[in-house]
Amino acid sequence: MKVHFNRLYPVALTLLVLGACTKKETLDETFARINQEVLQNSKAYSTLNEATSTIGHRLTGSENGHKAEQYTFDKFKEYGFTDVKFQDFEVEAWSRGDISVTIDKEKVPAVTLGHSPVQADVTAEVVDLGNGLEADYQAKPGAAKDKIVLIYIGLLDGSDKGSHNLHRSEKTAIAIREGAKGVIIINQVSNGVLLTGTASVTGALIPIPAVCIGKENGMALKEKLQKNKKVSATITMTNQSGLIKARNVVATLKGSEIPDERIVIGGHLDSWDLATGAIDNGIGSFSVLDIARSFMANKLHPKRTVQFVMFMGEEQGLLGSRYMVSEAVKDGSIESIKYMMNLDMTGNPVGINAGGKLEDTTFYKTVGLAIQKVDTIFKNKFTNQSGLHSDHQPFMLEGVPVLGMHSNLERSIYGCYHSDCDDFKLVNETHLRNTVRFGTMLLYAVANADKLPAIKMDSETTRQFMIDNNLKEPLTLAGDWKWKD
């Protein structure tokens, strides 16, 4: 039998071509492809615009909140996800009613802080407790007893350099412990901007009324008190509290090689009710939604499973993320969660923050350099720090490494968070697109890594990490410090 090699040549050529076509794509090539697709097709800006204009605020448990949950569920389906689920939870939640604040018989514009009593009518002398930190109370022993305390939400000019600020809820917790009858918090944003947000470290109702007043009125009041003038204030309010139903929205993309290992990326979908929550946290959650779209559009199939999560209830005490983690602890699946990436008010990223005990310190710098090749707007800033009060917290307390991105947005934009000026007009389309571009690249790099740069910390390592990041005091105030010292 004669073999005619000229007849086999086309077959060999075809096999060579197929081999070339299946050549493994480099990270640089993948990033370039992601970049081009997102620049051309990103939907983050248009979907956030649509949601803020047709739904409005996204308060957990409200009709608007339920509409937002359904909206993002439908978008995940539209983008091609077949595994999209609601994760239902029921908790006690809070909503505002009426408020009146008078200081020396003059009515002062104010907003109620979340989880204040359902009803309150308090009149008392006002005492200035500075930043509202432990040191301020130690400097004036017993001064808060039966008084309405006045505290600044940030750190006042001239504060000790070693001072670490606390969340408004933690400052309120100290005031309650010291016997205060009410709390007036001064906002740090100029032009009379009023800020809301929870004043409860646990998500339960607090026993005293807590309100926020504008910076100008607050500083004028401080000046009056500094002149040793006695000032009386009356706080009257009504609010609502009760069981509500809410839903995290979870879209799952199964891993191609290690499907039992999960990378969770999330952003809280809920917002406070004074505005539409475009910045807090529309720019974060709708970036997560568009990163999910980008994964499908670019046919990205990383080795590990990726879960894209729209968390509800963050503003009222991390309700949705606490529930997800508690369920994962109960059924043991927490061990499969290898990383949690959180986008909360993230915009125009210029770097990476990786919280946890890193075993490979070069991984993120290498990924950052690859992102820089795509666009030098990304500065490859890197830190290894962790904070609290967002949806990464419950994961972090279980030792799960957490991941975020350093934003580069104007401070004035953040000044509107939790306020009535948090409107879509603050959203910059280019900045939002940058979050999606760089966020997709970073998430893919982690989910597809041969070896993860950090592993889940054991209990003692997690404890020490909290201490090293100055988180023991706030966690203790909130009742979240689970270690016995």
Give the pairing type, strands 110-112 and 210-213: antiparallel
Give the pairing type, strands 258-268 and 304-311: parallel
- Among residues of the chain, what percentage have pLDDT more than 90? 91
Say what the pLDDT of residue 23 is. 80
Helix ranges, 105-240 (H)? 134-139, 168-177, 215-226
Say what the pLDDT of residue 1 is. 42
Q: What are the sequence ranges of the domains in the chain?
A: 27-83+254-477, 96-238
Say what the pLDDT of residue 7 is. 47
- Among residues of the chain, what percentage have pLDDT more than 70? 95
In CATH terms, is domain 96-238 a member of 1.10.10.10? no
pLDDT per position as a tens digit, 274-297:
999 999 999 999 999 999 999 999
Over residues 19-41, the mean pLDDT reads 89
Q: Would you say how long the chain is, in residues? A: 485
pLDDT band at 220 (very low <50, low <70, confident <90, very high): very high
Predicted TM-score (pTM) of the model is 0.93
Q: Mean pLDDT score of the chain, rounded to an integer?
A: 94
Over residues 451-455, the mean pLDDT reads 96
Helix ranges, 127-229 (H)? 134-139, 168-177, 215-226
Give the pairing type, strands 232-253 and 84-103: antiparallel
Over residues 23-35, the mean pLDDT reads 96
pLDDT per position as a tens digit, 51-63:
999 999 999 999 9
pLDDT band at 359 (very low <50, low <70, confident <90, very high): confident
pLDDT band at 21 (very low <50, low <70, confident <90, very high): low
What the block records as the tokens of 33 is 């492809």
Say what the pLDDT of residue 3 is. 41
CATH number of 27-83+254-477: 3.40.630.10
Over residues 120-132, the mean pLDDT reads 98
